[in-house]
Amino acid sequence: MKKVIIIGASSGIGKALAEIFSKNGYEVGLTARRVELLKEIQSKLSVKSYVKYMDLLKPEDSIKGLEELIKGMGGVDIIVINSGVGYEAKKLEFVKERAAIDVNVLGFTAMAVAATNYFEDKGTGHIVGISSIAAIRPFRQAPAYGASKAFISFYLKGLRHKFINQGKDIFVTDILPGFVCTDLTKGNEHMFWISTAEKSASQIYQAIVKRKRTAYITKRWHLIALFLKIIPDFIYNRI
């Protein structure tokens, strides 16, 4: 039986992914700060599952926690790094900008390093990172969020380059969602093409099992990505 760990599984896309993997016969490891929510999810899963407290604001502890969870599960095949925070506001607040960097950059890196070291020792595996369409161009109302997601995408590309150069059987998938109806997007009045967490997770699951390098969620966000990549700055800055 294949095994997957979802880092940031207490709600939204992470929760929906846990349910989809479970329905498809995967043993699932669930991590987050809100253990009570993880246990609720666990009680509804159809296969064996594991719960582990993890707070990416404490990266060293999170590395140890991930290593313990992998050992407790008897090894894993896929690690999905889904945890992330972001704030959108006209007036920036350093505390919130720092929180985005601490979780999305430092916390992500801690998990990516731990996953890389494990899969390199094992000789095979699959690392999945949840980035964002916001990674493609600067995001004026949440600069740290967009910058941190760009870091994630670039880091994943670096890992892919590393594994290909080494000849390792380790896959890397960069997931770039558009607007998804989750706690993170509550109050955002500028959203369009909004997807449910369940629909997004379904497409993410398909991208993972197909071992895609990059996937836009939902698929039509690929059009926005192409637009963002080619639009000149003097036009983009007026949008």
Q: pLDDT digits over 114-132, tens only?
A: 999 999 999 999 999 999 9
Strand order in the sheet with 124-130: 49-53, 27-32, 3-7, 78-81, 124-130, 169-177, 214-217
Please state, in angstroms and rounded to a whole number, the distance separating the CA atoms of residues 80 and 7.
Answer: 6
- 209 pLDDT above the threshold of 90: yes
What is the percent of the chain where pLDDT is above 70? 92
- 3-44: pLDDT as tens digits: 999 999 999 999 999 999 999 999 999 999 999 999 999 999
Nearest to 55 by CA among 77, 38, 40: 38
Cβ atoms of residues 209 and 4 within 8 Å: no
Q: pLDDT tens digits, residue range 162-194?
A: 999 999 999 999 999 986 665 555 555 555 557
* Residue-averaged pLDDT of the chain: 90
Closest listed residue to residue 84, CA positions, set 61, 96, 62, 100: 100
pLDDT at 138 over 70: yes
Residues annotated catalytic, as ranges: 145
> How far is the C-alpha of 110 from the C-alpha of 87, rounded, in Å?
22
What is the pLDDT, as a whole number, of residue 190?
59
Whether residue 87 is predicted with pLDDT greater than 90 in this model: the reply is no
Which residues are bridge partners to 173 per DSSP?
Answer: 128
CATH 3.30.70.660 fits 3-236, yes or no: no
The per-residue pLDDT for 83 is 85
Is the CB of residue 103 less than 8 Å from the CB of residue 82?
no
Q: Structure pTM?
A: 0.91
Provide, rounded to the nearest whole percent, the portion of the chain with pLDDT above 90: 71
Q: Where are the beta strands (DSSP E) in 58-168?
A: 78-81, 124-130
Mean pLDDT, range 57-76, rounded to an integer? 97
pLDDT at 89: 74
